[in-house]
Structures are given as C-alpha cells and as structure tokens.
C-alpha cells in the first residue's frame, strides 16, 4: 500500500460529483480562522510532534491519566444553587441519590459581588442565579447531612472568594472535618472576571494577591484541595471561539503561576492542584481538539518554570456545556445540543462535566430538566461504550490536524499577550476583551443573516411553541435572608466580630495571609459583606471602563439590503427630529454577563443609532439619571439573571417621577415568556427574548419611536 492515497484521483471523482467545481470549493473557514477541508489524509499529520504520544505522559494530548475512563469515568457534577441554602441542600441530596458524584455550587450575584442580602444594591438579585450565602450559618445549612470528608465540592467563586472559602472551611470544621481532608476546587480565577464575567470586587493587583494567598494557605493546610480553577468557560459564553478560549485561559494560568512563584511558593507545591474549566459548544470536532490542544500547550509552557514533577505539567479540567447555545425557541432541541456537547467533552478527555438543562435559556432548571441533564451524562457513560477506550479519536487525520492548528494559533495569541507584559497587563490594555467582543459580534451577524444555522431560531421554525414549566424564585427569599442576618447579628459577640474585621483590614494594609485572617472572622459570624467591606477600605472597589466596538457587525453584512434599509430609517429619523435615534443600553443589578448588551451596542451603532452604554451594576435610579442626562429616546435593559420583574418597574417609576415618562423602555435577554405580560403592563414597549435577531429588534424600536411621534 502506498504511503499516501492517490489524492489526485479522489479530486477528479469529487470534481465530477461537484459538477465541475474543485474540491476546494467545499473548504470552510471556521470562526477560529482555520480552513476546514473536505478531506484529510496522512499527509496532514506530517510534522506534528505529538502523534505518537501516549495518555498519561508529557505532553498529555491524549489525556492526563494513562487509563482515563477505562478505569474510572469522569465525575458527574451539576452546577446548582438557588433560592435558599435549605432548598439548595435538598436539591443536592436528591441529585446525589440519583447518581451525581460531586457538588458544584452556584452562588447568587449578591454573594459574588461581596454584598449581604440586605444591601440596597442587590434587591433584585438574592437567590435568583444561585444560593445566597451571608454567613457560615448559611454554609452549614447548604452542606447539612453531606459529609464533607467524603464529598468533593467545587465552588464557583472569585470576587468574594475569601469569605466564601473561609465559610466552607469553618462549616466543615463545625461538622467535625479537618481542613486536610477537604477535597474539591475553588474557582479563584479573578482574571477572567475582568475579561468577561465581571463579578469582581477589587482592582487587579490586590485581587492577584488574594489568589496567591489562597494558593499559599491551601498548599500548607489543604493538600487535597484545588486552589484555582482557571476558567475559559465564561470566555466562550462571552463570544470567544476555541482558539481565543484556549489562548486566554492558558495565559491566565501562566499569570497565576508567576503570582504564586513571586509569593515564594515552590512550583511543585502548587502546580499539581491548579485545575481548568473549559466550555464546549456545538462545533463538535473543534471542541474535542481544543481540549487536546490545551493540554499540549500547558505542558509545554510550564517547562519554563523547571518543575521536577510531571504532575506540574498536567492540565486537568472540568467542562460545562454551553449555556449560550441553548434556545428559548423549540427548547427540547436543547437536549440534543447538550448531548452533542457532552459527548465532545468526553471524547476530548475532561475530568468532570456539568450538562446544562434544556430550560436554562429562560430560567433556572426545574427538577425535571435537571434530571434530564444529569441522565445525559449517565447514559453516555453507561450505554454508549465510549469509556472503553482511552482517547478513541487519537490518530484521526482530522482531529490531530485540528489539534495542531489550534496549538499554532493559540500559541501566537499567547505570544502576543506575553509581548504586552502578561495577562494582567493585556487585560488592562483591553486586548483580550476586545478580541472576544469582536468574535461575538461577528457570530451574531452570521446568525442574523442565516449563515450559521440555529435550528428553531433562524431555520426550521416552529409556529406554535409548547410552553414549558419555569422555575421562579419567590421575593420572600430576600426577606427571609434579611431576617436571618439580623438574627445572627443579635446573637454573636459584636466585640469579637469587630476585632476580627479590624485584623482583616490591617492584614490587607500591612501584609500577611488574607485567608488565614478571614477564618476567625467567619467563626465569629462576621458576614460576607462585612468581610468584603473590611478589605474594600484598603483595596477600594473596582469600576471597569465600558467601551463599545464598531464596524464589526455591519462588516459581516457588507451592503446587505437589511442594513441599508435600517440605516435609511435612522437617517430619516434624523432628518425629521434633528438628531439620530438615541438609546441607552444598561444592565441593572449585579449580573455581569455583558455579551448581549455589547453585541447590541455595536450592532445598533453600525445601524445608525447613537448608543450610550451605562457602567455595569446600575441601580434603577442611576440608570434613569443617565438616561435623562443623555437625553435618550429609548432605554434598553439587558436582563439575564431574573431581576427584571423588580428592577424594570423601578426604572419606569424613577423616570416618571423625574418627568421623563416619555422615554421608551425595551427589555432583552433571558425573559420567561410568562413574564412578558407583566412587563408590558408595567409600561415596557418591547420584549426581545433569546434568539431575537438584532436587526428585527432595531426595526421594532424604530416602529415604536415612529408610532410615538
């Protein structure tokens, strides 16, 4: 047999089947800028240095463990938390009884941002997108009857990471479990917060100190605990393609390694307990190749620090299926999407996995949807037989070539970050965030034009949607939390709390390990908000600069008639009114997901609107003040975390009270269909749910302005 097949003969046959077109006409340019060919052969593997590598060995392309799933499948985790600690605890116990193997805790936005539930800025956020934790008493309820010496616990927390991790340690202590027995992961990845998620509290420099303090403390006292989960998932959700996610996640990891080394830690003392968190979307083979490429790059780049242990070179990762790929329209399609994404994660070699529920495009998961999501993993593990072979796609011409391409392109981006002085400086310069926002805008334009198919949204639409059950969080949750905080404060030793909080402030100012001084404060029943405030006195609270890119969305359309038509309408508006239609886009409450608002901002600007973007985390009063000062025609509210029924009516009342009730209000984002009527009755002009084409929303806004006269 010849070394290479006769590609010339294949090309001739393909050309006939293509009716005279060359096979190259089938080439596809992926969002990552990788040319995907219709045929791959052994020629595409030439020069790839990891082809003959083995799982469990450097560079770990085929997996961090030699036997991978043949000995033990990935850990099934379901990221969950909502309403109250008691209700979340009951949910966890039901899931564990049904086959879930580890806990992954979702905290509410108030907790993420270091606010107690009684703070006026979080009135719409308590218990909505996670569980509220105000003190160790909540943490104890959360893990009631869950043995923390046996259960691996993953906690997604970055901003208020110190009081939350200290709360977990003290809750275990009061359960009779010592620190050295604790297993699991704290995310503790603050850099990605400045990039995408935005649930930061302090500026980058003191935040990096917090990361290294946690690494240092846990290296000494919690040897089984993973101290950082370096997250690319939120980058993907913000719009990053697989190359961007790989490059910026690995670059974040290198920055944390340097921070720990600068704090005097030994590379082999902490590097083996660094873990990663990637997101997988719908480009099946690209996602598989991404996980393989990430392991290669991490092993290669870690060698510059001269570790003695091979474990310091191993990239171990948790994976979550995409939330952004879920659709409100024809929502049962989401079960299929999540299954494909979960299979990609498994074939890519994840160590643990969370599968999103099919209803998460509109609400928190119900018990039914959570069961379907969990069983998706169980079925793949126990019925598909994919766990019988280590890295079953190894040797695939396509997968190996794709892995190599991602390595090359991601390495070039990492080099660019290094030239800027590392990831912290790159973030300050705005480079990574801008690249991600450009990718998100380009993709949205492709979807809006139908160039990228979303079944049920821009193709194969269903005329009559079947309503699905939606979980709604009662406003009584916040009332109960406030009463609970007051009860705890009445019983605690106020003088001891004050002494502990002063110790935290002094440590922040003068040096020392911040986690170490937070633990006594938690024991004394200091709250998350009080501990966060004690450090804020020294560090301050970070406020990001909000910027908007332009030209990217329209650039994908070029001179498409839809763009031309809307621009003509905005020009006519200006001729009639003397100025362009002006819109303020705002996010109220503590939700930091800004993909939607940024995509709408760049698109509307390209369509001829004057666009203002408010700072993040606005109160209704602050948003109304900015709308009046900027003399806008419309306020567009982006809502993703369920606070719209509280905050939007407050915004409308605030505008009316200042004589600006004529400003139109439109709302977009994750809005359950059952809430539309409520919003319309409150005075909202339009509601744009998930999957709405930006061009359609722009036309509807212009219609409303013309109707208003």
Q: Using the structure block, give the residue that is written with the tokens 């198919």.
A: 453
Choose among 309, 271, 216: nearest CA to 514. Answer: 216
Return the SS3 of 229.
Answer: strand
Looking at 222-328, list the stretches that DSSP marks H as alpha helix, in order from N- to C-terminal side.
233-238, 242-262, 267-270, 284-302
79 classed as catalytic? yes
Give residue 364's pLDDT. 79
Give the strands of the sheet with 352-354, arranged side by side: 225-226, 184-186, 153-156, 102-106, 75-80, 352-354, 317-321, 274-280, 228-231
Could you give the C-alpha distances from 124 to 119, 129, 533, 649, 696, in angstroms and in order?
A: 10, 11, 21, 11, 29
Give residue 104's pLDDT. 84
Choose among 450, 428, 438: nearest CA to 595. Answer: 438
Euclidean distance between CA atoms 684 and 635, whole angstroms: 10
Burial of 257 (0-12, 13-18, 19+ CB in 10 A): buried
233 classed as catalytic? yes
Mention every residue, 6+ apart, whose C-beta is less than 8 A from residue 383. Answer: none
Ramachandran angles phi, psi of 190, nearest 5°: -80, -25
Whether 57 contacts 342, CB under 8 Å: no
Which residues of the chain carry a pLDDT beneath 70? 1-4, 80
Euclidean distance between CA atoms 670 and 595, whole angstroms: 12
591 classed as catalytic? yes
Euclidean distance between CA atoms 140 and 661, whole angstroms: 47
Ramachandran angles phi, psi of 88, nearest 5°: -65, -40
Return the SS3 of 465.
Answer: coil
- Of 108, 213, 391, 591, which one is the catalytic site residue? 591
Whether 698 contacts 690, CB under 8 Å: no
- Of 112, 128, 234, 409, which one is the catalytic site residue? 234
Euclidean distance between CA atoms 440 and 434, whole angstroms: 10
Give residue 1's pLDDT. 42
Largest CA distance in the chain: 86
Whether 465 contacts 329, CB under 8 Å: yes
Give residue 339's pLDDT. 98
Strand pairing of 352-354 and 317-321? parallel
**For the CA atoms of 161, 163, 166, 172, what is the dihedral angle to 10 degrees?**
-100
First to last CA, the chain: 77
Looking at 617-668, list the stretches that DSSP marks H as alpha helix, in order from N- to C-terminal side.
620-629, 644-657
Give residue 77's pLDDT. 82
Mention every residue, 6+ apart, whose C-beta is less than 8 A from residue 630. Answer: 582, 584, 612
- Of 233, 296, 553, 604, which one is the catalytic site residue? 233
Could you give the C-alpha distances from 684 to 489, 613, 678, 701, in angstroms and in order?
A: 40, 19, 9, 12
Choose among 108, 117, 113: nearest CA to 532. Answer: 113
Q: pLDDT for 581-600, tens place per residue?
A: 999 999 999 998 888 899 99
Give residue 169's pLDDT. 98
Return the SS3 of 526.
Answer: coil
Euclidean distance between CA atoms 325 and 272, whole angstroms: 32
- Of 128, 354, 433, 593, which one is the catalytic site residue? 593
Euclidean distance between CA atoms 483 and 494, whole angstroms: 18
Q: pLDDT for 107-147, tens place per residue?
A: 999 999 999 999 999 999 999 889 999 999 999 999 999 99
Could you give the C-alpha distances from 64 to 70, 295, 296, 398, 668, in angstroms and in order?
A: 13, 8, 10, 22, 42
SS (H, E, C) 337-364: HHHHHHHHHHHHCCCEEECCCCCCCCCE
Strand pairing of 35-36 and 28-29? antiparallel
Per DSSP (E only), the strands in 352-507 are 352-354
Half-sphere exposure of 474 (CA within 13 A, CB side): 7
Q: Using the structure block, give the residue that is written with the tokens 């639409």.
A: 461
Mention every residue, 6+ apart, whose C-beta is less than 8 A from residue 653. Answer: 620
Q: pLDDT for 249-288, tens place per residue?
A: 999 999 999 999 988 999 999 999 899 999 999 999 999 9
Euclidean distance between CA atoms 278 and 110, whole angstroms: 24
Q: DSSP code of 19?
A: T
Return the SS3 of 528.
Answer: helix
Return the SS3 of 392.
Answer: coil
Choose among 84, 109, 85, 89: nearest CA to 642. Answer: 109
Give residue 4's pLDDT. 63
Give residue 3's pLDDT. 61
Lookup: tokens for 508: 């922040």
Give residue 480's pLDDT. 94
CB atoms within 10 A of CB 504: 26
Q: Using the structure block, give the residue that is written with the tokens 């979702």.
A: 106
194 classed as catalytic? no
Mention every residue, 6+ apart, whose C-beta is less than 8 A from residue 616. Answer: 198, 544, 546, 587, 592, 594
Euclidean distance between CA atoms 535 and 515, whole angstroms: 12
- Of 587, 598, 633, 644, which one is the catalytic site residue? 587
Could you give the C-alpha distances from 311 to 56, 269, 691, in angstroms and in order?
A: 10, 10, 43
């Amino acid at each position: 047999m010849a070394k290479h097949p006769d590609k010339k003969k294949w090309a001739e046959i393909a050309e006939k089947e293509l009716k005279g077109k060359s096979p190259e006409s089938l080439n596809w340019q992926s969002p990552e800028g990788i040319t995907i060919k219709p045929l791959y052969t052994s020629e595409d593997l030439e020069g790839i240095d990891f082809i003959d590598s083995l799982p469990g060995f450097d560079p770990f392309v085929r997996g961090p463990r030699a036997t991978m799933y043949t000995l033990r499948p990935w850990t099934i985790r379901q990221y969950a938390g909502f309403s109250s600690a008691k209700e979340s605890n009951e949910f966890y116990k039901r899931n564990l009884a049904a086959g879930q193997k580890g806990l992954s805790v979702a905290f509410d936005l108030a907790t993420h941002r270091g606010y107690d539930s009684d703070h006026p800025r979080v009135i719409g956020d308590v218990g909505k997108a996670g569980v509220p934790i105000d003190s160790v008493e909540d943490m104890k309820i959360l893990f009631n009857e869950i043995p923390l010496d046996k259960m691996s616990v993953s906690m997604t927390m970055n901003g208020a990471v110190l009081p939350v991790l200290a709360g977990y340690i003290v809750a275990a202590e009061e359960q009779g479990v010592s620190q050295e027995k604790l297993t699991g992961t704290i995310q503790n990845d603050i850099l990605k917060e400045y990039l995408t998620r935005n649930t930061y509290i302090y500026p980058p420099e003191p935040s990096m100190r917090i990361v290294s303090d946690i690494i240092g403390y846990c290296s000494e006292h919690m040897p089984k605990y993973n101290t950082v989960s370096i997250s690319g998932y939120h980058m993907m959700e913000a719009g990053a393609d697989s190359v961007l996610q790989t490059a910026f996640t690995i670059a974040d990891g290198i920055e944390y390694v340097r921070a720990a080394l600068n704090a005097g830690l030994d590379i082999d003392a902490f590097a083996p307990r660094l873990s990663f968190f990637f997101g997988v979307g719908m480009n099946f083979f690209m996602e598989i190749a991404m996980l393989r490429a990430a392991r290669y790059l991490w092993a290669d780049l870690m060698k510059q620090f001269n570790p003695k242990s091979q474990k310091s070179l191993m990239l171990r990762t948790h994976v979550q299926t995409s939330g952004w790929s879920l659709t409100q329209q024809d929502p049962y399609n989401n079960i299929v999407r999540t299954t494909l994404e979960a299979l990609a994660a498994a074939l890519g070699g994840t160590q643990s996995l969370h599968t999103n529920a099919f209803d998460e495009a509109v609400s928190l998961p119900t018990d039914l949807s959570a069961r379907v999501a969990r069983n998706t993993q169980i079925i793949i593990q126990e019925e598909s037989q994919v766990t019988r072979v280590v890295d079953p796609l190894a040797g695939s011409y396509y997968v190996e070539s794709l892995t190599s391409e991602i390595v090359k392109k991601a390495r070039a981006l990492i080099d660019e970050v290094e030239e800027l002085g590392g990831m912290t400086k790159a973030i300050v310069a705005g480079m990574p965030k801008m690249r991600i926002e450009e990718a998100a805008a380009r993709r949205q334009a492709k979807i809006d034009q139908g160039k990228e198919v979303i079944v049920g949204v821009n193709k194969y639409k269903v005329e009559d949607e079947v309503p699905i059950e939606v979980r709604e969080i009662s406003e009584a949750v916040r009332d109960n939390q406030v009463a609970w905080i007051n009860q705890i404060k009445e019983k605690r030793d106020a003088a001891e709390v004050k002494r502990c909080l002063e110790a935290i402030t002094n440590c922040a100012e003068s040096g020392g390990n911040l986690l170490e001084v937070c633990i006594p404060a938690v024991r004394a029943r200091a709250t998350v908000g009080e501990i966060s405030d004690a450090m804020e006195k020294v560090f301050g609270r970070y406020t990001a600069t909000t910027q908007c890119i332009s030209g990217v969305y329209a650039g994908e359309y070029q001179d498409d008639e839809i763009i031309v038509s809307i621009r003509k309408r905005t020009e006519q508006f200006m001729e009639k009114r003397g100025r362009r239609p002006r819109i303020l886009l705002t996010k109220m409450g503590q939700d930091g997901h800004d993909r939607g608002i940024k995509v709408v901002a760049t698109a509307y600007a390209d369509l001829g609107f004057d666009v203002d973007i408010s700072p993040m985390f606005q109160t209704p009063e602050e948003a109304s003040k900015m709308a009046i000062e900027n003399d806008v025609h419309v306020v567009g509210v982006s809502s993703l975390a369920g606070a719209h029924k509280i905050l939007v009516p407050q915004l409308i009342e605030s505008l009316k009270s200042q004589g600006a009730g004529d400003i139109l209000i439109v709302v977009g984002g994750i809005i359950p269909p059952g809430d539309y009527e409520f919003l319309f009755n409150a005075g909202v002009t339009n509601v744009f749910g998930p999957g709405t084409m930006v061009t359609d929303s722009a036309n509807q806004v212009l219609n409303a302005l013309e109707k208003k006269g």
